[in-house]
Structure formats: structure tokens, C-alpha cells
Chains A and B, each alone.
Chain A
Amino acid sequence: MQQMPWLESAALSILVPAGSQRDPSSLPGLANFTAEMVQRGCGSYNSREYVDQLDRLGAARSASVTNSHTRFSAAVPADHLTDVLALYKELICAPHLPEEQLEDSRMVALQELLAMEDDLAQKLLRELRKRLYPDPYGRSSTGTLESVQTMTHQDIMGHVANYYVPENAVISIAGKIIFEDVIKAVEQSFGDWQGAIQTELVETSPPEGHHHIQHDSSQTQIGIVYPSIPYSHADYFLARSAIGVLSDGMSSRLFTEVREKRGLCYTVYAMCHTIKNHGCVLAYAGTTTERAQETLDVMLAQIRRLGDGIFEDELKRLKARMKTGLIMQQESSSSRSVSMASDWHLLGRVRTLEELSDLLDQVNTEAINDYLSANPPQQFKVITLGQQALDTSKAEGGKV
């Protein structure tokens, strides 16, 4: 919880431990299908009445399935928080899961899969994610055409019983709130929520090597991934800052070298991706077929160059940007509640904005460069989608 008395709004994020990592290996996409069914009526409301209630409260809302959780988020004018909490309690603890709407939900899930086939960047990222981490951490939430076609009402009911439970669940609330009132409201609505997770996750190795997906498109989609450290690691902010120098802002290395100087593409970026116990860096660019090889080579060269360290002025600019981002979080109850929920999941506690600001102040060029020299970027996997496979020889081997 965080009190932000200067705002008019309050926002909540509820993480339920029904992430795609918990999908049975024979039924990928089950959490996603379940989330669709869960939103079709609960408690004393049918689905239409339920959504009408949310609209009456002015709730700006979303629901999504990540690898670790199913997430329900809503922002409302602050005096509606208690009502909206009670509504979400019904959704999570008393969904109707109406059997007669199973086929409609199946169509929704199938449509989502088909539309994703047309979104080439998404399609690439999906392949990339598989290669980031051991299974089940690289799974996408949408499943496959086959699995969605075979899911039964029994599967959905079982999934809710097993994973819509308070163990590993997080409720995070920020905005114009008073702690005591919110505690009382959460106690009242979620106080009797029971259950625990009964299954263990089994890790298996991700696919090795590079991969190309043939597709008749104007642009080639390029993805690069390599191992890094998770958010909970003591050196995380050093690793994160190095990637910031590589990709955050208009003066970052990738933007400057790939787009500004060479005009190779419109979109190019790299980012730290993190789950609880693993982390990696992923980089992306989309560019026309004939310029794809040069784009890949320049990206790899810039990523490897990080091993030689970064410069003082680059870090100074990055820190200014990050500071702005931290302070601007105070303008939004939604973004604050989302980051608090994510902190709790990844760290088991919340980093306050002051703590984050101190951590940022402590980061310095020397520490980053020591980290980079001990952990130079390597073990790249290159995934491409387009008319032609690319020469990946520059991705092999260690530091050059």
C-alpha cells in the first residue's frame, strides 16, 4: 500500500498465482482461457451486470496473464476503492464459470492466437521468450491451437480451484487512501480467502542455438537474447544501468549507432527482462530484408562493446532520465500499484521511491565497469523472422 494524498484516484493490482508457468504441459494456455471464463459472471452478478457495476464505479481496468500470475488491475476515483475491491473479491473467489459460455470463450482464445500470428514482432518475441529461461518460465500465455481446442469445463474448474488461491498472491493498492481504511476493506473482502498451491514446478532446459522463422514480409524481425541477472540480485542495478546506456533515451548507443548514424531501422531497443530467479537481456530490431544483416552485426557489436565499459557522461544522462521516471510515478496510482506488486513478487518486499532513488545515487561508472568486465555480454541466441536467414557467426564466441 502507498498513500498518495495528492491524487484523486486509487488503483489496485491483484496478482493471482495462476500464471502460465502453472499451465499443465499438456494444456498450454489454460490460465489464459481460465481468465476469460472467470470474467463471465460471479457472486450475485451475471457478466453484464458485473461489467455494468465496474463502469458505474468508473473503473479503468485490465486483466492479463503473465508467466507467474494472472493480474487484475483497476484504477478508480478514490472513494470507489472499497466497492471495487469487493467486486474483485467476487471475481476471484466466486466466479460462475458458466459452462454454456465455454464455446464462446474458446472462440475468444482462438481468435487471440490467430491475431497473434499476424503480429510479427509478437510472434518473434514469443519464440525468443521460449529461449530465455528454463521451461516453464519462457512459456507464452496464449497456448496453441491444439490445446485451446481440447480444454474442457473440468480443466477450467480445476485450474481455479488449484491456483486462484492466496498463496503467492499479491494485492497492491496505491493512491488517495488511508491505510487503516484499506486494511479494513481488504480484511472484509479477502479475509476468508483460503487455499494453497499443491504442485511443484519442474524446470527443463530451453532450446539451444539460433533460430530462423521463414515469413514473406517486407521487414526482417531480429531478436537477440543473452543471460543476465534477476531483479533480486545485488548487482541488478549495475546490469540494468549498462543496458540503459545501450538503449534508454535518444542518445543511447543502439539508437545512435543503428538508427541515427546508419538509418537502418525505425525500431531498435534492448531491455533487461527479469523473473523471480532468472534474468536476461533481450534486444529487438525490425528492418527490411536487404539491411537486416548489417543491422544484426551493428547490434551485436554494440552489445559486445559494453564489455569495454561505459562512460561517465552516458551514466549521467541515464540517471537523469531514471530520476524523472521515479518522480513521475508519483503522478500515477496505477503505475505505482503495478510496480509495488511486482516488487513484492520478485523481492518479497516493496522498494519505496526513496530507496530506489538512493540505489540510483549509489550506482557509479566504476562499479558498472567492474561488473561489465567480469560479466561481458556473451552466449547470444539470435532469432529472426523474415524472407532470409542471417549469418549469425558474429554472435559466436566470447569477448572479441
Chain B
Amino acid sequence: MSIVEFRHHTLSNGLDIVAECNPNAYSTGLAYFVKTGSRDETPEISGVSHFLEHMVFKGTPTRTAEQVNQQLDEIGSQSNAFTSEEQTVYYCAVLPEYQLDALELLSDILRPLLRQEDFATEKQVILEEIAKYDDQPPFGAHEKALALHFQNHPLGKSVLGTRETVGALTSTQMLEYFNRRYSAGNIVLAMAGNVNFDAVIAQLEDQIGHWQNYDTQRDTPRAQPNSAFHSIEKSSAHQQYIIQISNGPAAEDGNRYASRLLGLIFGDESNSRLFWEMIDTGKAEYAVVEPSEYQGTGIFLSYLCCQPKSTQEILDLYQTLAGDIQSNGVTDQELELAKSKVCSHIVLRAERAASRMFGIGNNWVQRGEYATVQESIQRFQSVTRQDIAEVLEKYPLTQCTSVAIGPTKMEHK
């Protein structure tokens, strides 16, 4: 019998708490998943979710920013936060004896002061972050490809925002966004490892029971796939970088297990079709394809890097390989190997409380469900070649939006 136990509780204000409790674990992972991100922004406040994530660490009515940082360190926590298209996540990994302190602190900072002075200083940090990515491969091609693929769909916007949108943001706009999105009912607390669940519930009812719950709608239309080609010249780059996006299953689609395995077979970093044809031969420096799932829609994203003179060859080779898997499907052996790869990785990752916490939180936020390690493995094991063929039929890898950036300017098709 497993001693691991799943617990779920909803506070009176609608905030969901999910935990996988393992009394033998060496640590505790806890994370607040706020269901908000770049897809919930209007164009004029593009980047506000991510900027707000930074501001959350800047102090509360009872703590200065310096105190927040010091206390996170005092409890020995490994803590951080990140923002994606649809989530803003604040997390902490601590020794079990500090879990209630960590929880008190994370909960407190989720009701930040948003002082004007801190806002101005932190804006500089965000602008530096944007500048950092400007200098770094693929030099904005990722955002450009998403924008082209999604067009007017809410997922077409950049998480970081631009120098212009972030530069023009005001703290009033941020406060308005905070008030619109950080409703108790729009937040999930996920925990894993050594969790004292009853004590957690008692403390939270007391500390955050008064957080307001209100309606936080999100549009989740399925994206209309687009196949465009766009080339950007960047003469200072040495290599050519190509981002390609095709349509894929959404977070709530049952065939996402098949699509994950398809991604591994076609474009994993090692022992995939792209690996043997592009990397092993030295034709490309990097070639990886991965599915990403969002609410209502999903994508396959490929990232290729090659010498500028080989750009057309690599684009053509990609189409040939995608065309081949499209018409002939995958082999039994490929499917078996992909399964053992993915299942072993699930087991290895589950050993860390913090990575388990991300898995549990994500699953709950995206689908409102919990799966044990064994159940997840089972779902991958039951995928058939037919399931993969269905994914390919519904989401052809050959139809993609491509963006190439580097010294070579390509002809637009």
C-alpha cells in the first residue's frame, strides 16, 4: 500500500487547495498557481502579468520588500516565480518544518502593496530582462512565430511585452489588472512532499479566508491554424534560427498523451527522427519539436538552429520528414521506446517534491484532475499507433507557420 495520499479542499472563498502528501518526504513544495497570464491581457497592457509577478515580491502592508527577501532566505527556501501565457506561479521548496512559515509568507505577498516607487525601479529590471532576450537566440523569433500563428487569438501576445508596452505601463493599470484577475476563485494552491494538510487548511482559512471571490472570465477559442513564412535578417548572428508552429491538441484533449509521444518520436533531443537526420549528421546544431497545450487550443513548436547557408536545406528536410511521418505514421518499436523514455522520466522526476508539486498543480489548473504517478504512466502505456495516426490526421505537422532569423534573408513563400 502506498502511503502517498491525495487531499483536496476548497476554502469558503473558492480557493482550491490540492496536495499529494507523502509523510516520508524530505521536503515540502508549495506553489500558488494564479490562472492569469499574457492571454488575459489587452494589447495596451501587454506584459503586465509578468511585471506584476515581479511586483508581488515588493512588499505588503506588513512587510517591506527587503523583509520578504530576507524571510524567504531565513526559512532556507528555494523560491521563485514565473509567468506563462495562462499562469502566474509563485513557489517555494522548504524543509517540512518550515512549510507553515513558507505558506504564511507566500500568502501574504499575494496581496502586494504595489508602491509607485518600487514600480519605477522594477520597471528597469523588466526592461533589462527584455534587452537580455533581444541579445539571445532566437532573438525574438519565438514571439514572432506565435504572433503569426495565432494572429488575433489571445495566445498571440508575448509574455514579456515590449519595451514600448512595458515602458508605458502605469501602476494604476497594474492595480486594475490585479483586481480583475487575482480573485480567490482564480487561484490554486498545490503542495507535494511532506505536507501537514490539516494545519495548512486551518492556517489558510484564518489568513486568506477574507480574500474576495469574483468572476474571472477567459476566452478560450480554438485557434485557426495559419501557415505563413517570415524571414528576419540579423547580420550580427552567426547561426540561423528557425521556429515553426503547427496546430496541436488542447490541454483538455484526451489525445494529448499520444501527441506527447509523437513529439518524442519525431523531435526529441536524442534518438528521434529529427535527431538522426539533422543532428547526428551535423546538418543542424539543434532540432527539437515539442507539443504545448493551452486551454482550448494547442501547438507543436519546433526549434531548429543551423548554419545560415543550410537554411533552405533544413526547411526542406523538415518538410520531408514531417511528410513521411504524416503519411506512414510511426513504428511499433518507436512507440515502445518513446513510452519507456517518458515513463522512466515520470518516475525519476517524481522523486523531487518540488517537481511533483508542479505536475499536480498544472494538472489541477488545466483539467481539475489528479493522477498518481502510476495512473500517468498507465495513460502513456495505453497509447496505440492508431491514436498517433489520429493526432497526425487532426494536426498535420506539415502545415506550419515558420519564422527564420539570422544572417540569411530568405524569400517569403
B351 at the interface (CB under 8 A from A): yes
Bound complex: CA A320 to CA B94 (Å): 10
- How many angstroms between the C-alpha atoms of A298 and B34 in the bound complex? 36
Q: A51 vs B263: C-alpha distance in the bound complex, in angstroms?
A: 18
Distance of A7 Cα from B22 Cα, bound (Å)? 13
A251 to B68: give the CA distance in the assembly, Å.
9
Check A251 against B351 for contact (C-beta < 8 Å). Answer: no
Q: Are B123 and A263 in contact (CB under 8 A)?
A: yes
Residue of A54, A117, A251, A265 most packed against chain B (CB within 10 A)? A251
- The interface residues of chain A, by DSSP majority, are classed as helix
A-chain residues with CB within 8 Å of residue B26 when the two chains form the complex: 327-328, 330-331
Cβ < 8 Å to A, chain B residues 95-141 = 95, 121-129, 131-132, 134-137
- The answer to whether B236 and A321 touch across the interface, beta carbons within 8 angstroms, is no
A317 CA / B76 CA spacing, docked (Å)? 7
- Binary contact readout A16-53 vs B (1 if CB under 8 angstroms, 0 otherwise): 00000000000000000000000000000001100110
Tell whether A183 is near chain B: CB-to-CB under 8 Å: no
A346 to B93: give the CA distance in the assembly, Å: 29
Question: B345 — which chain A residues lie within 8 A by C-beta?
Answer: 58, 60
Cβ-defined contact, A55 with B337, below 8 A: yes
- Asked if A262 and B121 make an inter-chain contact with CB atoms under 8 angstroms apart, the answer reads yes
Spot the interface stretch: A253-261, A270-278, A375-383.
A253-261
Total inter-chain residue pairs, C-beta < 8 Å = 190
Knowing A250-B72, A317-B74 touch, does A60 contact B344 (C-beta < 8 A)?
yes
- Contact A114/B128 with A108-B282, A249-B73, A324-B27 known, Cβ cut-off 8 Å: no
Query: In the complex, are the beta carbons of B125 and A266 less than 8 A apart?
Result: yes
Binary contact readout A97-109 vs B (1 if CB under 8 angstroms, 0 otherwise): 0000001111110
Using known A-B contacts A251-B70, A324-B76, determine if residue A111 contacts B307 with beta carbons closer than 8 Å.
Answer: yes
Q: Give chain B residues whose Cβ lies under 8 Å from the Cβ of A252.
A: 73
Q: Chain A: interface residue count, which band?
A: 35 or more
Q: Report the stretch among B8-16, B212-220, B283-291 that lies at the interface.
A: B283-291
Contact of A328 among B27, B134, B284, B344 (CB under 8 A): B27
A8 to chain B: which residues have CB within 8 Å?
347-348, 350-351
Residue among A103, A106, A262, A320 with the most chain B CB within 10 A?
Answer: A320
Q: Does A95 belong to the interface (CB within 8 Å)?
A: no
- How many B residues are at the interface, by size bracket? 35 or more
Would A251 and B132 count as touching, CB distance under 8 A?
no
**Complex formed: what's the CA distance from A322 to B93 in Å?**
13
- B78: CB under 8 A from chain A? yes
B-side contacts of A61, CB under 8 Å: 270
Q: Judge whether B305 is part of the interface by a CB distance below 8 angstroms.
A: yes
A334 to B351 alpha-carbon distance, docked (Å):
11
Cβ of B279 < 8 Å from any Cβ of A?
A: yes
Find residues 64-87 in chain A having any chain B CB closer than 8 Å to their own CB: 75-77
Find out whether the CB atom of B281 lies under 8 angstroms from the CB atom of A111: no
Residues of B within 8 A of A267 (CB): 132
> Which one of A192-200, A211-219, A222-230, A390-398 is at the interface?
A211-219
Q: Decide if A58 touches B73 in the complex (CB within 8 Å).
A: no
B281 nearest CB neighbor, chain A only: A104
- Distance to closest chain B CB from A98 (angstroms): 12
Q: Are A114 and B352 in contact (CB under 8 A)?
A: no
Partner of A332, one of B127, B136, B306, B352: B352
Contacts of A9 in B (CB 8 A): 347-348, 351
- List, in ascending order, chain A residues with CB within 8 A of B65's CB: 260
CB-CB under 8 A from B238, the residues of chain A are 114-115, 117-118
Q: Could you list which residues of chain A lie within 8 angstroms of chain B, going by C-beta atoms?
A: 6-9, 47-48, 51-52, 54-61, 75-77, 103-108, 110-112, 114-115, 117-120, 215-219, 249-252, 255-256, 259-267, 286-288, 291, 313, 316-318, 320-325, 327-328, 330-334
Give me 10 other A-B pairs in contact (C-beta within 8 A), A217-B236, A321-B77 excluded: A47-B280, A107-B282, A108-B280, A112-B285, A114-B307, A117-B239, A260-B121, A263-B128, A313-B70, A327-B95
* B residues adjacent to A (C-beta < 8 A): 24-27, 57, 65-66, 68-70, 72-79, 93-95, 121-129, 131-132, 134-137, 236-239, 270-271, 276, 279-286, 305-307, 333, 336-337, 340-341, 343-345, 347-348, 350-353
List of 6 A-B pairs having minimum Cβ-Cβ separation, nearest first: A107-B282, A58-B344, A263-B124, A320-B76, A111-B285, A324-B76
- Could you pull out 25 A-B pairs where Cβ atoms are within 8 angstroms? A9-B351, A52-B337, A56-B340, A58-B347, A59-B344, A60-B348, A107-B281, A108-B279, A111-B282, A112-B285, A114-B307, A115-B238, A118-B238, A120-B135, A219-B131, A219-B132, A252-B73, A260-B66, A263-B123, A320-B75, A321-B76, A324-B27, A324-B93, A327-B27, A332-B352
